[in-house]
Homo-oligomer: A and B are copies of this chain.
Amino acid sequence: MGTTQLESVQEPKYWHLKTVLSEALDSEFSVGEILPNERDLAARFGVARATLRQALEQLELEGRLQRRRGVGTTVAPPREGVSLGTGPQAWPGGPEDAWQPADCTAAVPPAGVADALETGRDETVHIVRRSRVSHGRPVAAELLYIPRSSVPELSGIDAPSGAARARAVLRELQRLELERQENAVELGSAGAEEAKELDRLPGAPVLVVTTRFIALGRTAALSVATYRADTCRLTFGDPGGVEIHAGIQRQAS
């Protein structure tokens, strides 16, 4: 560090800024603390506000900062471990399920979902909306697609929609014997509705977890869950033991 080496071969300003800020966060700030506003910070570092923002965006993406319009930028707590499927295989709505049913409607699913469910593209399915809350904050929103054939005994006399119906559908689902489930995780960005549910702006990065529940050789239900990427670390496999934080592991070399 003695010299400002030539090795700054062409390091972008925002990248250097990010490094400096990251170190400052470690040493000079504590969780929840409010940073100076963007205009002040930019002036302090002698860069345009847009450049400063580029650094802040990266730090927010890495879960180190939290920015809220009208409020300010605060130091984020370490990411929270959120368990996916504690037991190897379990229906949604079973015991130990961390999700809260919010609503249930009947509608035609997107074509991709219909194909996965092997239902006709015009066929309506049960769509259960659920949300997952942790430490009082929403962390995930889910759409659960369930073909009518998976819950044949569902009484039509039950509530036509709402949380009560959602619970009824999930209860019926338990009667099937779950063969196995397939999971996939990928990066996405929050749509308008998801953003509202997750208390973020549209376009915010999310981890999309797609789960296919397989019973009797066919896909009995399909879940598409979007987790806040800024606050969540998805854990799976056998739990237990001390928590580990990749974020911390990756710092420095």
Contacts and interface: CB of A to CB of B under 8 A. Distances in A.
Contact of A250 (B85, B180, B188, B248): B188
Contact of A246 (B189, B202, B224, B242): B224
Interface stretch (A66-74, A165-173, A226-234): A226-234
A63 interface: yes
B184 A112 contact: no
A216 interface: no
Contacts of A183: 235-237
Contact of A208 (B58, B240, B250): B250
B182 A112 contact: no
Contact of A15 (B58, B203, B208): B203
Per assembly, the copies of the chain total: 2
A95 interface: no
A186 B113 contact: no
A238 interface: yes
A130 interface: no
Given A62-B188, A110-B250, A189-B62, A238 B207 contact: no
B187 A205 contact: yes
A2 interface: no
A5 to B, nearest CB: 15
A46 interface: no
Nearest to A182: B237
A181 B208 CA distance: 23
Contact of A203 (B58, B222, B236): B58
A224 B251 CA distance: 12
Interface in A197-253: 202-203, 205, 207-208, 210, 212, 214, 219, 222, 224, 229-230, 232-242, 244-253
